[in-house]
Structure 1
Amino acid sequence: MVFARKTFFDAVRVSLFDGVLKRRQVAGLTAILDGVSDVREIDDRWLAYMLATAHHETGRTMQPVRETFAASDSRAIVVLDSAFEDGSLPSVSAPYWRRDAEGKTWLGRGLVQLTHKINYEKMALATGIDLVSRPERAMELSVAVDILFIGMETGTFTGRRLGQYFSESTEDWAGARRIINGRDRAELVAGYGRRYLAAIRQAG
């Protein structure tokens, strides 16, 4: 997919970043755009929705983040433990973020929050990256981009994939949230997706 990146960045700076793009945001956006090359053409709505998902899941930093946005695993565990103990995580039945016998934590990391050991194992198989021995690698930008693309294209996250929501006969921006997290903030992410699509098409 080839388009004028300066035009794209100028457009999203205004429509999605309140007129200011920081260096790390540009780096994250660039890494995602680089995931699509001229020999790997995809539907521009797929790219737009992946950008929108990263935008939302990272608090628009466009960089891999830990669950709770903590600066370290240890701090994230403290925050999650506190939320679990006071009943703020009603959908969580067991504290998956606590360190296992090997000292590893399977808390959320990346451009999309990859959580639970079983999901790290599935994504390790899908990407060929050893995320089981080193789950912290999900915080590396290039690895996080691979996880984002493969998970959303193939349905590795939830069993739902981009092709089910964007095809020749389908365009379901809100429904596509099921690829990641049910209906949570579905309309908000859909709005981001439409703005990213407008920028892609403006730059095309």
Structure 2
Amino acid sequence: MSRQIKILLVDHQTLLRESLGSMLGAERDLAVVGCAVGGAEAVDLAVTVQPDVVIVDADRPEGVMETFMQLRVAVRDSRFLVLSSHDQPALLQELLALGISGYLTKSVTVLELVTAIRTVAARDGRVVLSVARASIERISRPDDESSLSRREKEILTRIADGLSNGQIARRLSISEGTVKRHVHSIFVKLGAVSRIDAVNKYSALQAGWVAAYESVS
């Protein structure tokens, strides 16, 4: 049997934590290695169990951003899925920029959630979303000029590989200034605020925004 995917649940509601933990634990390839209410408890537990996937509730009374940022620093190799009762385009855009691997509304089925967990744990760069199409279009297509040129796609691919502007310039036999201009154009077209944000948004677009299943409402 292959190694199980280790999951940490962060939710302030005990009943939901326990119910979700029980359902996910029934899958042979998944192991719920910890449950936390949030804050310091979640960080301490994450450092101890080193989860593959952290599922964070976005409906927490104090909000999700502070908890997510603390966890992101504590366990850099984990993948993050956010669960929310509502479509929140502004929050989704912020979290994508910070590197979450998925944002799902709580209307998804257990099968869809399990599929999302397996997808992000595979670490293939895909972003899993299950939100209204209008919310996706609002954050992903700010204008009609969002399609990337062939050269911009080449450069974005190399950004995803972790290359600097200078390394990209040498690889493509173009000047570093040209690379910088293309990177700026990529940011504008995708509405990106950073290199990782651009990679995440383009990966999500290429995957149809729902990488593992077609369930966008």
State whether TM-score is above 0.5: no
Instruction: Between the two structures, name the one with larger relative contact order (CA 8 Å, sep ≥ 6).
Output: 1
Rg: which structure is higher? Answer: 2
TM-score w.r.t. length of structure 1? 0.28
